[in-house]
Amino acid sequence: MSMTGFIASIFIGISLGLIGGGGSILTVPTLVYLFNISPLQATAYSLFIVGITSMIGSLSYFKKGLIHLKSSIIFGIPSIIAVFLTRSYLLPAIPLKIFSIGDFVATKDMLLLLFFAVLMIAASYSMIKRKQVPISEIQFNYPLILFQGIFIGVITGLIGAGGGFLMIPALVNLLKLPMKTAVGTSLLLISLNSLTGFVFSVPYLSIQWDFLLSITFIAIVGILIGSFLSTKIKGEKLKPIFGWFVLVMGIYIILKETLLS
pLDDT tens-digit profile, the chain (261 residues): 577 878 888 887 887 777 666 666 778 888 888 888 888 888 889 889 888 888 887 888 888 888 888 888 888 888 889 988 888 888 888 888 887 777 777 788 888 888 888 887 877 776 777 555 444 444 456 777 788 888 888 888 887 776 676 777 777 777 777 777 887 888 888 888 888 888 888 877 788 999 999 989 988 888 888 878 777 776 566 677 777 877 888 888 888 888 766
Q: What pLDDT is stored for residue 165 in this prediction?
A: 67
Q: What pLDDT is stored for residue 137 in this prediction?
A: 44
Of 23, 48, 51, give the one whose Cα is nearest residue 212: 48
Residue 20: left (phi > 0), alpha (psi -120 to 50), or beta?
Answer: left
Q: What pLDDT is stored for residue 135 in this prediction?
A: 45
Q: What pLDDT is stored for residue 21 in this prediction?
A: 61
**Alpha-carbon gap, residue 117 to 140, rounded angstroms:** 31
End-to-end CA gap in the chain: 23
**Alpha-carbon gap, residue 192 to 162, rounded angstroms:** 9
Q: Are 9 and 212 in contact (CB under 8 A)?
A: no
Q: For the chain, what is the domain count?
A: 1
**Alpha-carbon gap, residue 251 to 179, rounded angstroms:** 29
**Alpha-carbon gap, residue 164 to 84, rounded angstroms:** 18
Containing domain of residue 113, as a range? Answer: 3-258
Burial classification of residue 259, based on how many CB atoms lie within 10 Å of its CB (0-12 exposed, 13-18 middle, 19 or more buried): exposed
Q: What pLDDT is stored for residue 136 in this prediction?
A: 43
One-character DSSP codes across 5-64: HHHHHHHHHHHHHHHS--HHHHHHHIIIIIS---HHHHHHHHHHHHHHHHHHHHHHHHHT
